[in-house]
Amino acid sequence: MSIANKFISWPNKKFFLRHVVQMNYAGKVYTVLRGIEVAHDTTGWNQALFVCYAVFMTLGMFWYTRFWLLPRDLDDYYRESDHVLRTVGNMYITFGAAVYYFVFCILFSISYTSIDHPVSLSLAIWNAWCCILLILAI
């Protein structure tokens, strides 16, 4: 049965994870491209932050493609099965991802206070939003 047939039901954790994955494909591309541009125009700590984030988000695209591309991938992720990620557990992986976005929310908030760049602000807000959705996906 498709999710569309359950429109009236409350969203569940799979819905929130699927939403994060779908919206964050574009988010990852944006943050990589804008991060490179901002890194070019900054120096020191802020430059390192934007470069590291661009690298991490690029690696995150591989994660999404490998583990969460197809709808059945998310079903397997949450189901008790012999999914490769079962050894760690989906709750811990999803919580770890939420912590990742929370840390970068803080770092980009600090960056915004030091360089007052609108991309720092947008990435702080974006990371906060991803963190909230991932917590709902636990």
Q: Give the Å distances, CA to CA, from 103 to 1, 25, 71, 96, 123.
A: 37, 20, 28, 11, 12
In sequence order, the 6+-apart residues with CB closer than 8 A to the CB of 44 are none
pLDDT digits (tens, 9 = 90+) for 89-120: 889 999 999 999 999 999 999 999 999 999 99
Q: How many domains does the chain have?
A: 1
CA 10 – CA 6 distance, rounded (Å)? 9
CA 83 – CA 85 distance, rounded (Å)? 5
Is 68 a domain residue?
A: yes
Is 5 a domain residue?
A: no
The first and second tokens of residue 138, run together, are 């636990």
Is 25 a domain residue?
A: yes
Is 48 a domain residue?
A: yes
Domain span holding position 82: 11-136
Look at residue 82 in the predicted model and tell me its pLDDT: 73
Q: What is the pTM of this model?
A: 0.89
Is 3 a domain residue?
A: no
Strands (E), 11-64: none
